[in-house]
Structure 1
Amino acid sequence: MSLSMPDMGVMTDAATISPLALFLQADIVVKVVMLGLLLASIWTWAIIIGFSFTLRGASRKSRAFEQDFWKAEDIDRFYEARGKAEFPAARVMAAGVTEWRRSTAQKVIDREGTRDRLSTAMSSSIAAEVDQLADRLNILATVGSVAPFVGLFGTVWGIMRAFTGIAAAQNSSLAVVAPGIAEALFATAIGLFAAIPAVIAYNRFSHGINRLEAGLTRFADGFYTTLSRELEAQR
């Protein structure tokens, strides 16, 4: 019985289509595409990790603040103690208290005007908080939508180069075609590697921001109701 030796040509071909080899052998245009997509992927993951902590911290602190607020017996004392903190619920309360103090400092209080200004002040504060949180999500949306097409451009360019190589070598065997095709498909793979996490993170974070906005709106509505009752009690 004889043992067949492994085909060294196959082993060499397998080595030449490793990710590093594909990058090194790629055309300069495809290399630029790959590097750009890799940088976009790194940037995306940095945003995902950083924004996860930011959104989680803002939601947790706002919920705790709201729970403690409804347990407080004196709104002014609670505001002086915790109303100047730097997270969304505290800033919404600060906007309401600031407008309340301005509107009720007059000798003659315009009740309807005060209610309108309170509602506008807190609604504007909520919108500002949401806009500030959602600002960096535009990057995730851009990467998620553009990265596949950039990778596709690298794929098309690589395939064109592969066909050019076939024409020059006048040989259409798999050994000639495989490296160029693999290089082209590798660009698409990197594009998807950058786009998929960006799209998933964007949808997840958008849901989290919507939940935070809904919580802030409920808090503002409750605080508005409390101030409205206080306004009715004043003569």
Structure 2
Amino acid sequence: MEPLQAAQAIDFSLIALFLRASLTVKIVMIVLILASFWSWAIIIQKLIAYTAARTDANGFDRRFWSGEPLDDLYDRMSDRPKGAMERIFSAGMTEWRRSHRDDGGLIPGATQRIDRAMNVAIQREESRLMRGLSFLATTGSTAPFIGLFGTVWGIKTAFERIAVSQNTNLAVVAPGIAEALVATALGLLAAIPAVVFYNKLSGDADRVVGGWGAFADEFSTILSRQLDGE
């Protein structure tokens, strides 16, 4: 009963386990905790950004198909389009106006230049939209292994303590094993949300970018009709 009573007297709270851990395990725990906090910051920021992107796209789509002349819609944006869809539209309209000569005629290859301008704008917006997701992917794939490294190192340290004390009772073994296992738990705590939300956010980003691409195709078709009419 004495080893059991001694083990029960030990503080197994997370803070106590962290303070008793070796320097290497402490560093692993700190890295995983920081990775977890940073992952959640990215997740929250991206959820807000994607919601705003969908709202902006829906709002601009209604204005675009409202029947208002495209030149008037472009002029009202001035030089500061607000959302991604407006910036894509602005890129296309800017190239459209640049394709007209002073005499009103069109410079050859206007359609290709307009498409290319909008594609560049889409790629720029996609890069902005996807920024930070690579960190989630990295955290999801590496955090369990970092935690496992901390666990292996902690168990090694625990066996070293047992060898030095030459005592294998529960009061000596339990603290070291518990400290080591916390590293694995922190690794999973960081990795699981990162993987889940990386998959969700990647899917959301693909749908948003797909909407931009569909709009660019529709807009290009409208301009092509006008070009053919001229």
Distance 1:85 1:53 in 2: 19
Which residue, out of 37, 41, 45, partners 2:32? 37
Contact 2:92-2:114 within 8 A present in 1 as well: yes
Amino acid at match of 2:28: V
| Contact 2:88–2:118, Cα closer than 8 Å, also in 1 | yes
Is the Cα–Cα contact under 8 Å of residues 137 and 202 in structure 1 kept in the other structure? yes
> Which position in structure 2 is the counterpart of 1:206?
202
Give the C-alpha shift of residue 200 in structure 1: 1.3
> In the alignment, does 2:16 pair up with 1:21?
yes
Which residue of the other structure, out of 59, 84, 92, is the alignment partner of 2:88?
92
Query: How high is the TM-score relative to the length of structure 2?
Result: 0.92
Alignment pair present for 1:149 and 2:156? no
Q: Deviations over 1:25-59 (max 9, x none)?
A: 10011111111111111111111112211111011
Q: In the alignment, is residue 181 of structure 1 matched against residue 177 of structure 2?
A: yes
Asked if 2 retains the 8 angstrom alpha-carbon contact of 1:72 and 1:78, the reply is no
Question: Which residue, 112, 127, 131 being the options, matches 1:116?
Answer: 112
CA contact (8 A) 2:81 2:90 kept: no
Whether the 8 Å contact between 2:101 and 2:107 is mirrored in structure 1 is no
Deviation for aligned residue 1:152: 1.1
Partner amino acid, structure 1, of 2:9:
T
Shift in alpha-carbon separation, 1:85–1:109, aligned structure 2, 3 A: closer
Question: Shift in Å at residue 110 of structure 1?
Answer: 4.2
Runs of 4+ in 1 over 4 A off after TM superposition: none
Cα drift, residue 71 of structure 1: 1.3
Q: Please report how far the alpha carbon of residue 11 of structure 1 lies from its aligned counterpart in structure 2 after TM superposition.
A: 3.0
1:162 & 1:8 partners in 2: Cα distance?
20
The alignment status of 1:67 with 2:70, answered yes or no, reads no
Give the partner amino acid of 1:12. A
User: Aligned ranges for residues 129-140 of structure 1 at < 5 Å?
Assistant: 129-140=125-136
Picking from 154, 157, 176, the partner of 1:161 is 157
**What stretches of structure 1 of length at least 5 have no aligned partner?**
1-6
Q: CA separation in 1, counterparts of 2:7 and 2:96? A: 79
Partners of 2:6 and 2:171 within 8 A in 1: no
Q: In 1, Cα distance between the equivalents of 2:33 and 2:115? A: 46
Report how far residue 121 of structure 1 moved: 0.9
Q: How many Å separate the matches in 2 of 1:156 and 1:164?
A: 12
What TM-score, normalized by structure 1, do the two folds share?
A: 0.90
Asked whether the 8 Å contact 2:7–2:174 carries over to 1, the reply is: no
Residue matched to 2:49:
54
In structure 1, what is the Cα distance between the partners aligned to 2:19 and 2:164? 21
Name the CA distance, whole Å, in 2 between partners of 1:72 and 1:40: 49
Give the Cα separation in 2 of the matches to 1:12 and 1:82.
Answer: 69
C-alpha contact 1:93 1:220 (8 A) present in aligned 2: yes
Render the CA deviation track for 1:113-144: whole Å, top value 9, x for unaligned.
Answer: 11111111111111110011112111211221
